[in-house]
Amino acid sequence: MNFQSFKKAYQNLWMKKLVKPPYKHVVQIGDPILRVKTKAVNPTDIESDNFKQFLETLKNVWSRYDCAGLSAPQIGVDLRVFAMHFPAVNKFRGTEQEYINKEMQHVPYTVWINPEMKVIDYGKVSFSEGCESMRGYSAEVDRYTRVLLTGLNENGKATSCEYTGWPARIVQHEMDHLDGKIFTDIMKARSLICDCWSRINYHEGNIYLSYYPRK
């Protein structure tokens, strides 16, 4: 074996193979896929094994990160698909008063394929929101209070739903992802914070932020 062959064999032994999407993790800001305007799903593909496997991966990643919404580009896939979910008040990690003040509502796990959004109420409210693709940070963002969403469900059936309050915010956040936008594009810039800034001070900087939550 010559030197070049040995070098290649050694590299193959120690270097992991390039992982291809759909990923089992959430990509972070800076990844070009987050700036892509995604493509519509061909309805005939919805029953395919590949698409079903993609939806299963989307759900698995959503479950592991326990997030309110997750879009296809966030796991590296250039398709107009997102999933959303929000817990009932008795399973919410915050306070009951916060749940009420932000007009939060239970939303069962729901998949939207080729969604289209129509604003029903152009009034806006501002609340802090974060994103799994900018993990550890949040900022104030203005969002419409009521929207109508139409599209296909995970079985390819036409569906529609009107969302208000916090669920409407989730919808707008995920629709932005499908158009290559991130909440930092429209946030109130001076409100951007590192969510664990006080813990960083308390632990004198000895804080570890994982981009792949352990369960």
DSSP 148-196: EEEEE-TTS-EEEEEEEHHHHHHHHHHHHHHTT--GGGTS-GGG-EETT
Assess contact for 33 and 78: CB atoms under 8 A: yes
Catalytic pick from 129, 132, 154, 174? 174
Q: Alpha-carbon distance 191 to 193, whole Å?
A: 6
Helix residue ranges, H only, the chain = 3-14, 49-65, 96-101, 165-178, 197-202
Which tokens in the block code for residue 214? 């352990």
Q: Is residue 116 annotated as part of the catalytic site, yes or no?
A: no
What residues are annotated to the active site? 174
